[in-house]
Structure 1
Amino acid sequence: MPLRLVNVNFKARDEWALGRFWAQALGWGISSEGPGVTNVEPEGVAWPDPSAICVDVVVVPDPETVKYRVHMDLATTSEAHKAELVARLQDLGATHADVGQGDVPWTVMADPEGNVFCVLEPRELYRDTGPVAAIVVDCADPRAMARFWDEAMDWTLHEVSDDLARMRSSKGVGPYLEFIRTSGERTVVSRAHLDVAPYKGDDKAAEVARLRALGATDADVGQGDVPWTCLADPEGNDFCVLSLR
């Protein structure tokens, strides 16, 4: 059976502080599965749950901020809600960010470690996603990315064009996964990536072999001897195949 998307993973200088920011931003709980790892999940949700793609924050020694190819879009229900959320995020330590967006109806911000994210204006498409409207991946070819990820996961492909591909859990819940066409060559290792996992009872090694056959390649991000497998998709975006915890 194909895999499922379970986490957005951020690398951080201070994983607990950044995890606390995202827990307060999303209204979720915070915990730790071990040293150097902070988990941000909705209260009462048994991981993994397609209604909420969770956030894992992992400490790393390199503190530099780089251009992320993966970011989150936050949903709002009204202009008043958007204004209130932006103000609350600023109180939590977020700042406004200029990524060349120009005059747009959404607000671009950065979390306390410089990770860019967007607070969207109210959109009907995202009315039932929860606090995270979409997980967005910058790419050169949305059609090619859609082909790979549509085969890799059991999510449903809702839209695909030269500029955008949009997927969502086959259960019709939770945030969307979107691939947005952008210019610029990838020259740095991203500090945010996707985590996927097999279903209970499925063979992780067989799933990794299947991903390689689809065009994924092995990735060395300094992970060492770990129980998960680090791969890169056809555009070089790192992602991890986890074992169910």
Structure 2
Amino acid sequence: MLENIVLQARDPVTTGAFWSAALGLADLTLEADLYEGRLTVGEMWLDLCIERVDEAPPPGWRLHLDLAGGQRQEEVVERLVGLGARRLDIGQGDVPWVVLADPDGNAFCVMEERPAYRDTGPIAALPLDSSDPERDAALYQAVTGWVRAEGVGPVTLRHPSLRGPLLELCPEPGPKLRQNRMHLDVRPEPGGQAELVELALANGAVRAAEPWALGHPWVVLRDTSGNELCVLP
């Protein structure tokens, strides 16, 4: 199942405090190098994990958070700015959503009202850049157990309860150039890590071979568009 949204930040404490307040998370871990908080929407839940890195966010976000704004979009934006977010211009032009950055500089969006965003909770969607949305959707369906649902992107997946955020596979503006600042973790049934890794590989994933990806209890993979995806023990 899909368990974690993992975000990198230079200051997990400050960034974690922001996201905890922004999303109403239940705090699980508060350490200098790691924040973990849980989002629960109905019977589905996801953990937001923030791990320490030394580098500032590079340009380009292949996976980011779209927050639910709806009819109260501007009110939501002002609340987030009050918590420490700032407005961000990434060349989005005249669009109905608002682009912000968290205290560490990670970009996210506050979305306008959309029918597909019913029962999502505070995170409306997880847009993920893909070189082939249909191909990537097959991989993520296999490893998460999420199902196809109505959405905005070419292919949208969602928890089987049809509650919580949408995973939107979106056409990429260009090839992946570096390690993603945000990625997803999946956890198998007890004892099934090797089987889930093999299932992912059979659906087009590949093992990451860089030194930073090796030697962990989890297995670092790349999806069929190069985005990092971890299989937890």
Q: Show the counterpart of 2:45.
A: 52
Structure 1 residue 41 corresponds to structure 2 residue 34: no
**CA distance, structure 2, for counterparts of residue 230 and residue 202 of structure 1:** 17
Q: CA deviation at 1:33?
A: 7.1
Q: CA deviation at 1:122?
A: 1.8
Q: CA deviation at 1:195?
A: 0.9
Q: Show the counterpart of 1:232.
A: 222
**CA distance, structure 1, for counterparts of residue 67 and residue 6 of structure 2:** 16
**CA distance, structure 2, for counterparts of residue 117 and residue 227 of structure 1:** 30
The amino acid that maps onto 1:90 is V
Of 109, 119, 126, 1:128 maps to: 119
Q: In the alignment, is the contact (CA less than 8 A) between 1:6 and 1:50 conserved in 2?
A: no
Q: Show the counterpart of 2:15.
A: 18
- List runs of 5+ in structure 2 lacking aligned partners: none
Compared CA separation, residues 221 and 100, structure 1 to 2 (3 A): farther
TM-score scaled by length of structure 1:
0.86
1:20 is paired with a residue whose SS is helix
Q: After superposition, where does 1:138-177 map in structure 2 within 5 Å?
A: 138-158=129-149, 164-177=154-167
1:25 is paired with a residue whose SS is helix
The amino acid that maps onto 2:177 is T
Q: In the alignment, is the contact (CA less than 8 A) between 2:143 and 2:186 conserved in 1?
A: no
Alignment deviations for residues 80-110 of structure 1 (CA, whole Å, 9 cap, x no partner): x211110111112211122222211111111
Q: In the alignment, is the contact (CA less than 8 A) between 1:74 and 1:131 conserved in 2?
A: yes
Q: CA deviation at 1:192?
A: 0.6
Q: CA deviation at 1:126?
A: 1.2
The amino acid that maps onto 1:65 is P
Structure 1 residue 215 corresponds to structure 2 residue 204: yes
Q: CA deviation at 1:64?
A: 4.5
RMSD of the TM alignment (CA)? 2.3
Structure 1 residue 90 corresponds to structure 2 residue 81: yes
**CA distance, structure 2, for counterparts of residue 172 and residue 236 of structure 1:** 27
**CA distance, structure 2, for counterparts of residue 225 and residue 63 of structure 1:** 25
The amino acid that maps onto 1:180 is C
**CA distance, structure 2, for counterparts of residue 156 and residue 181 of structure 1:** 19
**CA distance, structure 2, for counterparts of residue 138 and residue 99 of structure 1:** 16
**CA distance, structure 1, for counterparts of residue 135 and residue 23 of structure 2:** 31
**CA distance, structure 1, for counterparts of residue 50 and residue 113 of structure 2:** 28
- List runs of 5+ in structure 1 lacking aligned partners: none
2:44 is paired with a residue whose SS is coil
The amino acid that maps onto 2:185 is D
Q: Percent identity?
A: 36
Of 104, 107, 110, 2:101 maps to: 110
The amino acid that maps onto 2:58 is T
**CA distance, structure 1, for counterparts of residue 26 and residue 62 of structure 2:** 26
Q: In the alignment, is the contact (CA less than 8 A) between 2:13 and 2:32 conserved in 1?
A: no
Q: Show the counterpart of 1:68.
A: 61
**CA distance, structure 1, for counterparts of residue 43 and residue 220 of structure 2:** 22
Q: CA deviation at 1:8?
A: 0.9
Of 21, 26, 29, 1:29 maps to: 26
Q: CA deviation at 1:221?
A: 6.1
**CA distance, structure 2, for counterparts of residue 134 and residue 87 of structure 1:** 20
**CA distance, structure 2, for counterparts of residue 107 and residue 187 of structure 1:** 25
**CA distance, structure 1, for counterparts of residue 42 and residue 9 of structure 2:** 24
